[in-house]
Amino acid sequence: MLKDITLGQFFPGTSLVHRLDPRTKLLCVVLYIAALFTAAGWVSYAVVFALLAVAVGISRIGVKALLRGMKPVVVILVFTGALNLFYTQTGTELVHLGFLHITTGGLERAFFMVTRILMLISGTFLLTYTTSPIALTDGLEHLLGPLKLLKVPVHDLAMMMSIALRFIPTLIEETDKIMSAQKARGADFEGGSLLDKARAMVPLMVPLFVSAFRRADELATAMECRCYHGGEGRTRLKQLRFQAADWAVLALFVALLALIVVLKLRFRV
Amino acid sequence: MSEPIVKLEQVSFSYPAVEGRPHTALKDVTLEVEEGSFVAVLGHNGCGKSTLAKHMNAILLPLGGKVWVAGMDTADESRWLDVHRTVGMVFQNPDNQIVANVVEEDVAFAPENLGVPSPEIRRRVDEALEIVGMSKYARHAPHRLSGGQKQRVAIAGVIAMQPRCIVMDEPTAMLDPVGREEVLKTIRRLNREQHTTVVLITHHMDEAAMADRLVVMDHGEVIADGTPRTVFQKVELLRSVGLTVPDTVELLYELRQAGLDLPLDALSVEECAQAICGCLRSN
């Protein structure tokens, strides 16, 4: 049951998408999302979609893997689709069922909204699927660097994030162990009502929390023993470096956003 | 003789009271650790040996007395970074010492903190992983390794800092026999080949026997200090504080009690056998 948790799942690989600097990928995702929300018509959507399709193709991440990630948002998709379908009353009427009117305008709008959400999720998944959590945190720390001037503790936040990621498997293992121990003494995690299930979690959560605090304390001491004293004067084993490909890809995405904006303002497509 | 790397002068320490009286962990401990030596600190649970270890790199500060690390007073807050850098520390649970998601990134943690330039970090990481025999696993995720491998990664993480002394607080306590053997071999190599000063805190007799010097603690006090050979001869003393002696010494001791004229200083099985043969022959 606990093995299903796929937080920031990462598929290692050697494709161009994998090899790009994490900062490039983060910036590209931001530009991509901006383009997606600016897109106003069929042409714009087609352009954005084409770019996404090419990126997915290069990354060699299967379409199946991308779609598997969509499962949790199916409800939102259906809901959004239905709302837009029934509440947009423009264009010619196609179907009239009692109080429900389906119009061409509604159909178009619902299609765009659902496509937008699907493409939004695919784009961000592509980022986390092709970038290791460490690289992602590293990239974020660099990109948010300027916020340090506003006294935002960027380094500390990045460090917390990477330690949290490091401890997920450890804590999952620990939870499994405690669960087995409790089951061996007759605890029942499966049966009963929702309330019973919640109640059964108490003897699981308490020891887990106690041990997490103990771990945190020990880790802090160990980090201090290894001369950790904040981000000041810290160097890295692997320095992030922009390659030619990074600049090219970044330029491509800037061009994409510009194109979409022009399409919207000049041609409304 | 050169200045000792760690020097404790009449150190005493007690933990704040949780219920009732405060718990005294160290009483007037005076100890010097020579550079390049391999010292084992032996004692039962709660004898103060972990507290002693934590005094050696300023995790804990003495309530009475002084601790000097390479001539620096550990009470001087401005020198803590230098103290941490001089005396590295390995703890019991490898899971709670590993910071990063990839082995080599974790080993790089200490030199990164010290602001070492990238190419030099790369060199130190490769070297440290080589010393502990984990080069093959440089790109692996730590949580997929065995306990012994994880502990060796933790040791590599300290080696990469290039400390002059490494204090290990029961590094084998949570490991299976195979993992324990791996770690002990690494520690021996570290002292013999890299000439790093090692302080090994343990409650295993056989681990203590591999050191050059053995310090026995009980109730916060040092009760014996010398080479393992001389310390293990004090069979009654060790027994009185609930420690056992190696099997060989135990056998010789019992035979002596039975009236045979035997020496007590045989640690290896071979030495023990020779001593007994010699004795039988002279009879």
Return the domain boundaries, chain A.
1-131+239-269, 153-238
* pLDDT tens track for B160-219: 999 999 999 999 888 888 888 888 988 998 899 888 999 999 988 888 888 999 999 988
Query: Structure tokens of B195?
Result: 């000439």
Residue B118 CA to residue B115 CA, distance in Å, equals 9
Contact predicate B94/B151, CB 8 Å: yes
| Rg of chain B taking only CA atoms, in angstroms | 20
Residue B122 CA to residue A30 CA, distance in Å, equals 33
A interface mutation test: which of B101, B145, B169 has the most A CBs within 10 A? B101
Task: List chain A residues with CB under 8 Å of B84.
Answer: 224-227
Prediction pTM value: 0.80
A13 has a pLDDT exceeding 80: no
* Cross-chain Cβ contact B143/A226 below 8 Å: no
Tell me if chain B has a CB within 8 Å of the CB of A169: yes
Q: Mean pLDDT in runs of 10 for chain B (283 residues)?
A: 83 81 84 92 87 91 90 89 92 90 90 91 93 89 88 93 92 87 89 91 87 91 89 85 82 83 77 83 77
Q: How far is A65 from chain B (nearest CA, A)?
A: 23
CB pairs under 8 A between A and B: 92
Q: Which residue of B has its CA nearest to A233?
A: B115
* Cross-chain Cβ contact A237/B96 below 8 Å: no
Per-residue pLDDT at A4: 43
In terms of Cα–Cα distance, which of B273, B265, B187, B168 is closest to B226? B265
In terms of Cα–Cα distance, which of A215, A235, A220 is closest to B110? A235
Task: List chain B residues with CB under 8 Å of A233.
Answer: 115
Domains annotated on chain B, with CATH: 6-242 (3.40.50.300), 246-283 (no CATH)
Q: Which residue of A has its CA nearest to B84?
A: A225
Quickly state the pLDDT bin for A8 (edges 50, 70, 90).
Answer: low
ipTM of the complex: 0.85
Contact predicate B169/B9, CB 8 Å: no
What is each CA distance from A33 to A40, A45, B18, in whole angstroms? Answer: 13, 12, 56
**What 3-state class would DSSP assign to B248?**
helix
